[in-house]
Structure 1
Amino acid sequence: MPRFAANLSLLYPDLSFPQRIAAAAADGFDGVECQFPYDWPAAELAARATESGLPWVLINTPAGDWQHGERGLAALPGREAEFRRGVDTALAYAHTLGCRRLHVLAGLQPPGVDRSRCLATYADNLAWAARQAADAQATLLIEPLNARDVPGYLLRTQAEAHRWVQTLGIPQLKVQMDLYHCQISEGDLTRRLQHDLPTGRVGHLQIAGVPDRHEPDDGELNAPYLFTLIDTLAATAGQASPWIGAEYLPRRGTEPGGTSAGLGWLRAAREALASRPVL
């Protein structure tokens, strides 16, 4: 059965970041993830998770100057040293948190810089980061982002991400498949899941409603169908239960208790999956 992780960067915005861990546990999530944990001491976040009985599932590597629009450093020529310092920082946090998945953001193609140069930088940085991850027994993830929300992002499609994993041939490198981004960019989620999940190249999944990035039961996606499909594909392939990160903007925003009030989708998913026949 899929395991669901609360993305603390977006969920429970009415609470302080450390308090969100206990809230996720109280609401029945199986784990927690976030985009950038670096404003809080890793030891405190690890202790809060241990107290709540939830594992840390995923964090991002530092993304550069996020407030001014940067979305990663891995493919930016001339920023290699900064990228590598960020990976070292992320691995140190991951070690303290007991987290084994790191999402490496590629970044936006800089104006006037040839795409081929960015791709060469990306390949070198991913290979270097994968060697560091291997020593730490961690997995690196690369995630295509849609051009509507993140115009200019270097990594755009699932096929492109899978080609990187296949071409580099690094066991520690896998694809992070965000169904929200994939639906906006490409659609045809069923066929993409059927093609990609059994390969073992998908290391993490995320979901949000489309088009507005609210709860998964909001908008055009059929979340119960997708959860059942993911469960079936993983079981048929003999894979461990996949993690699905809930990375969305709660409909009720910062209203106290708003995230918890919108978790009908999670309860419905658990009930549907529990009632399925065992394969």
Structure 2
Amino acid sequence: MIRLAANLSMLFTEHEFLDRFVAAAEAGFRGVEYLFPYAYTPEALRAELDESGLEQVLFNLPPGDWEAGERGLASLPGREAEFRDSVVEALRYAEALGCSRVHAMAGLLPMDADGRAQEDVRAAHHTSYVTNLRFAAREAAKLDREVLIEPINTRDMPGFFLSHQDQAMAVLKEVGEPNLRLQFDLYHCQIMEGDLTHHLERQFPRIGHVQVAGVPQRHEPDVGEVHYPALFARLEALGYGGWVGCEYCPAGGTREGLGWGRAYGLTDSHGATQGR
């Protein structure tokens, strides 16, 4: 059965952040994810989860200086100590929030004037990435938690170190920790590679979390070139028991665009299914 989680960094932005938990629950979601929890205390977030009856299913490790354009620390040479501190902080929140998985964003490559990264620079990032992920996975395993890695498309995030599925699968194999798993975002994969069903089937044993959005504009999943009902059916047939994170930008109001989720349990607070 498909279980949908609302990404509160992108959905219900009509509300202040802490008010989005109740809004998500009233719309029928039973799980939530978001980019980062660190602007709030674990106690404040735990209270919102308890009040709304929601499960925290995912968030990211601290990404470095987000406002300055940094997009993760995991592959950045020379930032290993900062990355290790970020692992400790993320796991502290994960314990408080009952969250079983955290995402370690890979970070950006330095690009030359032609928008390319030199091979020796890429190799240095790879070495740091593998070392850092092995540390993160082993620390997370002590608390029975998973660490996820996610290929992100380089149109939305130019220079992101991890951008292809084969690259991610090779990293998982090299790190060799069973609790290091793949965050499979169908939106990013479609933009970079397509062939979604094939990728889903081939990588399924290592998938720890799935995310969706319409392609190409990252609106609701029923808008654009991807036929999500078929992919959801394949996920169910494969026996996927995890969450599907709704990480998209509503074309209008969040509630007005939830009609696509009626087949997957989205309802309003009175039990009526959402219309579109």
Name the TM-score, length of structure 2 as normaliser. Answer: 0.91
Task: Indicate yes or no: 2:263 matched with 1:263.
Answer: no
User: What per-residue deviation string (whole Å, max 9, x for no partner) do you get for residues 129-166 of structure 1?
Assistant: 11110112110000000011111111111111111112
2:233 paired residue number: 228
Counterpart mapping for 1:56-75 below 5 A = 56-75=56-75
2:223 paired residue number: 218
1:255 paired residue number: none
Distance 1:141 1:157 in 2: 15
1:151 paired residue number: 158
Structure 1 segments (4+ residues) deviating >6 Å: none
8 Å CA contact 2:130, 2:174 repeated in 1: no
Q: Which amino acid aligns with 2:215?
A: V
Query: 3-state SS of the aligned residue for 1:232?
Result: helix
Tell me how large the CA RMSD over aligned residues is: 1.3
Counterpart mapping for 1:1-279 below 5 A = 1-111=1-111, 114-197=121-204, 199=205, 201-234=206-239, 241-252=241-252, 258-270=253-265
Distance 1:17 1:230 in 2: 31
Distance 1:270 1:29 in 2: 8
Query: 3-state SS of the aligned residue for 1:176?
Result: strand
Distance 2:171 2:3 in 1: 26
Identity percentage of aligned residues: 51
Distance 1:138 1:268 in 2: 30
Deviation at 1:270, TM superposition (A): 4.3
Structure 2 unmatched ranges of 5 or more: 112-117, 267-276
Number of residue pairs the alignment of both structures matches: 259
8 Å CA contact 1:215, 1:250 repeated in 2: yes
8 Å CA contact 2:4, 2:264 repeated in 1: no
Structure 1 unmatched ranges of 5 or more: 253-257, 272-279
| Range with bigger deviation, 129-138 or 205-214 | 129-138
8 Å CA contact 1:103, 1:142 repeated in 2: yes
User: What per-residue deviation string (whole Å, max 9, x for no partner) do you get for residues 23-75 of structure 1?
Assistant: 11111112000111111111111111111111100010011111121110111
